[in-house]
Amino acid sequence: MGSRRKRRAPPAGRRSPFVIGIVGRSSFYRQSLAHRIGQVSAFLPIDLGSGYPNSISQALDHDLDLVLIDLSPADACRFSGELLEAAPRARPVGILGECTETDLEDFAAAGFVRLVSIEASFEELIRELMGTLRDETDRDHRLERLTQGYRRQRPSQASGSGATASSLSRRERQVLQLMIRQLSNKEITSELGIEAGTVKNHVHHILRKLQIPSRWEVLKRPK
């Protein structure tokens, strides 16, 4: 497989290909993605495995420019944290499906520099990778960048599918109204006198029931 090739010497006057590490749950998916990415002359893909226990040590064996991670949100954030602890210069890029605002905050805190929707086309993936390579990491605006990039790749779900607040419980409707007022989870916790974990669960359920991808879309709903 192309993912097992050694880094080839670049022609005179050109830099070597960008080396992209790939971490994912499915071997078939990783190999297929490595094959497609390897067809782009600017990239050299490396299959790093399923995340544990050897992916970190394999990543340290290569001069990686980016690490593309396709794991569950919790596993992806945990892996990114361990990767950056071992290799601080690594730049994690996440591939994910449905995602809540809390998930986005977790991805930002875990050091991800970009997120790519699982529904993005291969051409969109390549554009995102190239965009990531051009960008400087901006920790102050990382959450904003992750949110904008993820929403841009999922336009069909930006406004939901017509679900209404009537599908929510009484407490969820209370939380929704506070979200529309742009209160943070911490502020909602104080306002309602409930635990932070309970607020987090309510927010997740609200976004899932209303079928909207992130907390920012709540602000577009009627008050």
User: What's the rounded Cα separation, in Å, for the pair 10 and 17?
Assistant: 7
Tell me phi and psi for residue 18, to 5 degrees.
-70, 130
User: What's the rounded Cα separation, in Å, for the pair 161 and 144?
Assistant: 24
* Per-domain residue ranges of the chain: 2-157, 165-220
Per-residue pLDDT, 48: 96
Which residue(s) pair with 116 in the sheet?
Answer: 95
DSSP class per residue in 46-64: EEEESSSSSHHHHHHTS--
Per-residue pLDDT, 205: 81
What is the mean pLDDT of the segment spanning 148-173?
Answer: 61
The pLDDT tens digits for 93-116 are: 999 877 777 777 788 888 898 888
Per-residue pLDDT, 4: 40
Pairing of strands 66-70, 43-49: unpaired
Q: In the chain, what is the straight-line distance between the N-terminal and C-terminal CA atoms, in Å?
A: 54
Domain 165-220 has CATH 1.10.600.10: no
- Give the whole-number percent of the chain exceeding pLDDT 90: 30
pLDDT(197) > 80: yes
User: What's the rounded Cα separation, in Å, for the pair 213 and 181?
Assistant: 18
Look up the CATH architecture of domain 2-157. 3-Layer(aba) Sandwich (3.40)
User: What is this structure's pTM?
Assistant: 0.61
User: What's the rounded Cα separation, in Å, for the pair 157 and 163?
Assistant: 12
